[in-house]
Amino acid sequence: MTERVRATEAVVEFITGARWQDFSAEVVAMGKRCVIDGIGVMLAGSTTRGSGILRDYIGPTDRAADATVFAPTPFHSSVASAALLNGASGHAQDWDDTQLSSSPERIFGLLTHPTVPPLAAALAVGEQHRVSGPRFLEAFLVGFEVECRIADAIHPNHYKRGFHSSGTVGTFGAAAATAKLLGLNAESTAHAVAIAASLCAGIRVNFGTMTKPLHVGRAAHNGVLAAGLAAGGFTGGTDGLDGPWGFFEIFSFGGGFDADRISEIGRPHAIVDPGVSIKPYPCGVLGHPSMDAMRTLMITHDVKPGQIRAIRLRAGSNILNPLRYPIAHSELEAKFSPAFMLSSMALRRKAGIHEFTDEFVKSAPAQEMMAKVQTILDPDIEALGFEKIRSIVEVELDDGTVLTEAADERYRGGPERPFTREELHEKFTECAETVLSPPAIAETLQTLESLEDVRDIADLVRVMTATGVEPSAAR
């Protein structure tokens, strides 16, 4: 199939034509898992310093009472601001899910974090319009699919040359979810897509800083803005994705897009094929299999930190380039530092939110262990392609022994080794207990697992804020 396929037309047709009753039970079940995970990381991320700075900046100037901002002290704001703040919180700890690539030339882990932009948008717009659980899920699943298909279709130059797909393509996911909830017709939806194409942004130089999660918050905000403007008659054009001046050509540096991936939108849904990865660790997913391999070595051989002379990570450029900090000096840098990821496993045999802190990252044991880590671009691994995460961990002991463990390509949280219901609930609880009481956590999980039965999404929001939120609540 050639690129004569009109991408905007295909996306608009999917958004306007998708119906709740047409989603399979498998798609709905996966959608609810992603919503549970997304809300959990959103709650945990609301406690970070970056999220607090954003709230302090936006809260005093936005006194609307349309949607809820989730935080240790929740409050109301406009829909767009709620989407921005909740979206940024959802990515603040880099613990949100990741899209899988569909072929070797599509780089795994470097497509999008697909859940948070459409989720933050659908929560804010859904609360304002008091939509039902099924309508909320319908909009979320539509946004998720649009985001994944656009990310999978655009030429890999988009990411390789420096764009952050979760910020750029995430905008389309949020716009699609919002357009669905607002019931936009085909023409208005096309304008929303075109407006979104001009609003999307985010570059990789910001990785390891507070601005990376801001990309995702802005994606949610700009998607809401694009669809909201289009609902009011604002125009952007009806071919925002196509042609020499459209998103695919400009944002791929002239590489264009794979038309088949757009023409197949919704057939099948990307959320089940190729699937989605739910993160076990709050850091870049490209390091997760290596972290598991390191943990296996430490436990299997009962290695003590003091025995370690050197740690070597052999991997391809798809891992070593994005995970770019040789030594981490902050919690944010640690999320993109293989040295810290492996050092945490060496020192504590775990790497959760209690390890990804400035205090532990800057501690003498962590800094000393990171200095022992060497990353090596392995040509044999590089030649295998980038659609999977492949690496080998070597631990050299003081007595000269070298322990070796290849990372399992069937990594935890991925479709081949998905979280069990219990593991998903454990992660949600670890995230949510930062702001919610145990009874509120239990009630939130129960509500999320029965979203089809929720009559008003505002009821879910009230549960998530434990006692409900008054518009005048303190920021």
Query: How do residues 159-187 score in pLDDT, each as one tens digit?
Result: 989 999 999 999 999 999 999 999 999 99
Q: How far apart are CA 12 and CA 298, in angstroms?
A: 51
Can you tell me which residue has the tokens 């990252």? 361
Same domain, 259 and 300: no
Examine the fold and report which residue of 360, 385, 406 is the final residue of a domain before the chain moves on.
Answer: 406
- 266-279 pLDDT per residue, tens: 999 999 999 999 99
pLDDT at 106: 65
To which H or E segment does residue 290 belong?
A: helix 288-300
Q: Is the Cβ–Cβ distance between 408 and 336 less than 8 Å?
A: no
- Which has the closest alpha carbon to 189: 241, 115, 248? 241
Last residue of a domain, one of 277, 307, 339: 277
Instruction: Report the pLDDT value the prediction gives residue 408, as an integer from 0 to 100.
Output: 86
Q: In the prediction, which pLDDT does 386 show?
A: 80
Q: Please indicate, yes or no, whether residues 99 and 219 belong to a single structural domain of this protein.
A: yes
Selection from 151, 160, 159 nearest residue 114 by Cα: 151
**Number of domains present in the structure of the chain:** 2
Q: Are residues 140 and 249 in the same domain?
A: yes
218: domain CATH number is 1.10.4100.10
Domain boundary among 374, 406, 438: 406
238 within a domain of the structure (yes/no): yes
**Positions in the chain whose pLDDT score sits under 70:** 1-3, 102, 104-110, 466-475
Q: Indicate whether 247 and 332 sit together in one domain.
A: no
Distance CA 154, CA 259 (A): 9
Amino acid at 119: L
353 DSSP 8-state letter: T
pLDDT at 335: 95
Domain that holds residue 376: 285-406
